């Protein structure tokens, strides 16, 4: 598919403006030396830099007519009809594409489990003491003893390795599962908040083979999921304007599951879009 110059320039400008608005608060905090316990996660845990997120790519198989800046970008090649992502990129990334597609396909095949109540964040501070907590600037809503009591009163069933690996040593044996990187394709399920956030990771890892609008959509979803993740956590973030979702109560559990299901539905759409965007990459690599 070929995009006329006026079309791709409009899309590129719209993407840059959108990302500028999304990342501006983070960049302002970074310049001021201020940390944020919720949204900095999107730039510290995830490795995609704001400038990388801002750079617009049309995706594999799309030819840009005219004089796009992409002509000088790594991975792009000029042809008789314009500039496009080169076949060498698709060949080089084939193993990554195959792994991500297998993971997304397996995840999509499973029902969403919505009974975890965000207890992974509680397990990350289980049996800690003051001075030994990740977000030390923010108090635990129930204190250390109260937090431990919530963990001990619930069945923890975290299926996501990149959440489980941050559990405290005392919390790991309490989990019903033992996630690992090797088991990720067999354990990942679409109700998991972290699996929803990670759609952003898989999207940017496939850049420039997927359109940047899809990456930005995944970023926005990750940002919104992260808010629920931390509102349901044991931390008191009310000073930052985050009303807690008190998962230690019946009403809090209901609210958490309601929002978790909504995010799972949105994640399912993005997951299918990622699969569709990568479905023809074997032809591009040929």
**Could you report the per-residue pLDDT of 15-63, keeping only the tens digit for each?**
999 999 999 999 999 999 999 999 999 999 999 999 999 999 999 999 9
DSSP label at residue 209: S
Residue of 286, 79, 85, 118 lying closest to 196 (CA atoms): 118
CA atoms within 13 A on the CB side of 7: 9
Neighbouring-strand partners of residue 200: none
Alpha carbon 24 to chain centroid distance?
A: 19
Q: Domains in the chain: how many in total?
A: 1
How many Å apart are CA 220 and CA 208, to the nearest integer?
19
Domain that holds residue 62: 2-285
Residue 67 has what pLDDT? Answer: 94
Evaluate the omega torsion of the peptide bond into residue 107 and state whether it is cis, within 30 degrees of 0: no
For residue 59, the surrounding DSSP H or E stretch is none
How many Å apart are CA 206 and CA 126, to the nearest integer?
36
**Could you report the per-residue pLDDT of 119-170, keeping only the tens digit for each?**
999 999 999 987 776 777 899 999 999 999 999 999 999 999 999 999 999 9
């Amino acid at each position: 598919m070929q995009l006329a110059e006026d079309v791709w320039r409009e899309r590129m400008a719209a993407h840059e403006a959108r990302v500028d608005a999304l990342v501006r608060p983070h960049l302002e905090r970074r310049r001021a030396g201020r940390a944020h316990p919720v949204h900095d996660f999107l730039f510290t845990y995830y490795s995609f830099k704001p400038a990388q997120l801002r750079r617009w790519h049309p995706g594999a198989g799309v030819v840009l007519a005219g004089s796009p800046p992409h002509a000088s970008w790594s991975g792009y090649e000029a042809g008789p009809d314009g500039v496009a992502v080169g076949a060498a990129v698709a060949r080089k990334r084939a193993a990554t594409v195959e792994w991500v597609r297998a993971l997304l396909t397996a995840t999509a095949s499973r029902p969403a489990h919505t009974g975890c109540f965000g207890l992974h964040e509680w397990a990350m501070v289980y049996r800690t003491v003051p001075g030994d907590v990740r977000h030390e600037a923010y108090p635990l809503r129930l204190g250390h003893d109260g937090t431990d009591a919530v963990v001990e009163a619930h069945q923890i069933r975290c299926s996501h390795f990149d959440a489980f690996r941050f559990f405290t040593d005392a919390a790991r044996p309490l989990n019903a599962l033992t996630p690992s990187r090797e088991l990720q394709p067999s354990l990942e399920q679409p109700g998991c908040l972290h699996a929803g956030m990670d759609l952003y990771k898989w999207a940017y890892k496939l850049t420039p083979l997927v359109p940047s609008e899809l990456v930005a959509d995944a970023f926005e979803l990750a940002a919104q999921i992260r808010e629920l993740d931390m509102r349901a956590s044991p931390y008191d973030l009310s000073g930052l304007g985050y009303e807690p979702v008190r998962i230690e109560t019946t009403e809090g559990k209901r609210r958490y599951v309601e929002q978790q299901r909504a995010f799972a539905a949105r994640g399912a759409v993005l997951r299918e879009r990622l699969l569709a965007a990568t479905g023809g990459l074997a032809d591009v690599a040929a």
